[in-house]
Amino acid sequence: TEGSFRDWGYALADTLFAEETYSWAKWERTKREKGEKEANNEMKSALADGRILVKDAIADITLQQVLTRPEDFDVIATLNLNGDYLSDALAAQVGGIGIAPGGNINYHSGHAIFEATHGTAPKYANLDRVNPGSVVLSGEMMLRHLGWTAAADLVLKGLNDAIASKRVTYDFARLMEGATEIKCSEFGDNIIEHMAY
């Protein structure tokens, strides 16, 4: 399945998006036909022209590289299970899935849905405990998508300053020295209080 997905991705990049991308499959073909030096020169030229590099990696090395070289990854396209592992590992780098926003955008129609990336977590229902950051940041993304950048900036400021105040939900409190653990609703109030300039 993964090999078929990779091959489909390369075929798509090399046919429909040939002017916008340079694929690792193309690099391999050029290396085979003209040598590695020519393949490297071709790739360097394509990237200098602003093309996007499309390449593949096996899941275990990708898990390492997203943590040690995150700047090498602008977009990750993968199958569901590996995508779940990768998204959770990346979310952990910024505080966990409690703060990871999500957006599903159709750039042709303009329709979009913004939602928390985590599940519903029924065990936390009615406990007023969990971090609302994922939903808050999903709302910020929605506002930005709608062109309401001033409102989006206020939401982002509120969340950033609330976290900096160290009055946070349990998931952040356990990661921050000197933090005060507060309820979800209190953290929401803290965000709102910090939205003012």
Chain centre distance of CA 5: 20
Strand partners of residue 103 = 114
Q: What is the pLDDT of residue 94?
A: 85
N-terminal to C-terminal alpha carbon distance within the chain: 51
Q: Which long-range contacts (CB under 8 A, 24 or more apart) does 82-91 make?
A: 82/2, 85/59, 86/59, 86/62, 87/117, 89/63, 90/66, 91/117
pLDDT (0 to 100) of residue 109: 95
Environment class of 110 (CB within 10 Å of its CB; exposed 0-12, middle 13-18, buried 19+): exposed
Q: What phi, psi does 64 have (nearest 5°)?
A: -70, -45
The pLDDT assigned to 177 comes to 97
Quote the pLDDT of residue 96.
86
What three-state secondary structure class fits 113?
Answer: strand
In the prediction, which pLDDT does 88 show? 87
Which pLDDT score is estimated for 176? Answer: 95
**Stretches in the chain below the pLDDT threshold 70:** none
Q: What is the pLDDT of residue 93?
A: 87
With contact defined as beta carbons under 8 Å apart, do 106 and 112 qualify?
Answer: yes
Output the CA torsion 147→153→156→158 (10° steps): -130
- Burial letters for 63-101: b for 16+ Cβ neighbours within 10 Å, e otherwise? beebeeeeeeeeeeebeeebeeebbeebbeeebbbbbbb
The identity of residue 141, as a single letter, is M
Domain boundaries, the chain: 1-56, 57-93, 96-197
